[in-house]
Amino acid sequence: MQKCLVDWDTTLFNKNVFEIHDSDSFDRRELKEIDNSCYFDEAFMSFMKVNNHDLEKIHYLEELGFNYMESQYEVEKSLAVPYKVSPFSKHCSLHVLDYSDTKTIENIENIIITAFDTDRYYLDPKLDKRCSGLRYKNWFLTSFDDQNFSTYYYTSRKQDKIVGFLMVKTEPNEVYLALGGISHDFKGYGFYASLLIDYLNYAFSQGNKKFYSSISSHNLEILNIYIYLGFSVVDEKIVMRKIYQ
């Protein structure tokens, strides 16, 4: 078990944020020492992702002053055949983002900053809500430097507006469906399911068959979409955090 500095969050808060990496073993003394080291290293916050069934560890973290932030569900699916075309597909177009297209990048940034109100950083009463969108914006922009990441966006053919976007990471044997969101103008109509279907069908046509994602328990609407599309929940982690300052 060890801790590491989370560069993105440390830069965001301008204070040290650490992630404590879990291990299969549970040593109270070791966990207490790591918690104390966070004090010595002037931590603003630390967090830890724990297996949902490890109640003894969760309860001890509570004794140390950690609080629940969220559950994270890992979902996956092996696609054998493409999905039936969504009714929205005839009204929308799927594009891959060109990183030189500054106007589209700005539009996606605006969605990121305004659309995520179910994130643990947004909901936590001890954190500034603005940090949630800025954190995701940073992830989006830094993904440009990783050749394994691509961003796809959905546009309305009639209105010529960006409906939503999806970041994906192509790995050796599977595709990670990362950050995605829908513009407030198009929320509540089923566009995200259509965006996923169109992307998954495209990826399947390129030879990709295995997909996975990680979804917050605060975002049940998105989790239900994945379940509707046949994804299975294969793992659950509990995120615990402690504020030191």
CATH code for position 154: 3.40.630.30
Q: How far is CA 186 from CA 27, 75, 95, 105, in A?
A: 49, 25, 17, 18
pLDDT tens-digit series, residues 65-101: 999 999 999 999 999 999 998 888 889 999 999 999 9
Listed residues 17, 49, 72: the one ending a domain: 72
Whether 199 shows a pLDDT value over 90: the answer reads yes
Dig out the tokens for 52 from the structure.
């949902």
Same structural domain for residues 90 and 167? yes
pLDDT band at 45 (very low <50, low <70, confident <90, very high): very high
**Nearest 10 degrees: Cα torsion 132, 136, 142, 147:** 160
CA distance 6 to 131: 14
Mean pLDDT value across the chain? 93
Mean pLDDT of 92-119: 92
Q: Measured between alpha carbons, how far is 160 from 145 in angstroms, rounded to an integer?
A: 28
Tell me: do 46 and 116 sit in the same domain.
Answer: no
- Pair 124, 68: CB distance under 8 Å: no
Angle formed at CA 117 by CA 114 and CA 118, multiple of 5 degrees:
145
Q: What is the pLDDT of residues 119-135, one digit of tens each?
A: 888 889 998 888 888 88
pLDDT at residue 212 is higher than 90: yes
63 and 85 together in one domain: no
Flag whether 211 is in a domain.
Answer: yes
Amino acid residing at 107: N
CB 233, CB 73: distance < 8 Å: yes
Domain range for 40 is 2-72
* Same domain (yes/no): 153, 169: yes
Residue 69 has what pLDDT?
93
Average pLDDT over residues 146-160: 93
CB neighbourhood size of 124 (10 A): 18
Q: Say if residue 56 is in the same domain as residue 144.
A: no
Residue 146 lies in a domain: yes
**pTM for the whole structure:** 0.91
Q: Which of 13, 22, 19, 219 is nearest to 120 (CA)?
A: 219
In-domain check, residue 197 = yes
Mean pLDDT on 216-237? 95
**Edge-to-edge strands of the sheet including 92-96?**
2-5, 16-21, 43-51, 232-243, 67-78, 210-216, 175-182, 162-170, 149-156, 92-96
Does the pLDDT of residue 232 top 90, yes or no? yes
Is the same domain home to 204 and 228? Answer: yes
Mean pLDDT of 212-239: 95
In a domain, 162, yes or no: yes
Residues 63 and 155 in one domain: no
Task: Please check whether residues 144 and 131 belong to one and the same domain.
Answer: yes
Q: Which of 160, 163, 142 is CA-nearest to residue 152?
A: 163
Picking from 72, 90, 107, the residue at the C-terminal end of a domain is 72
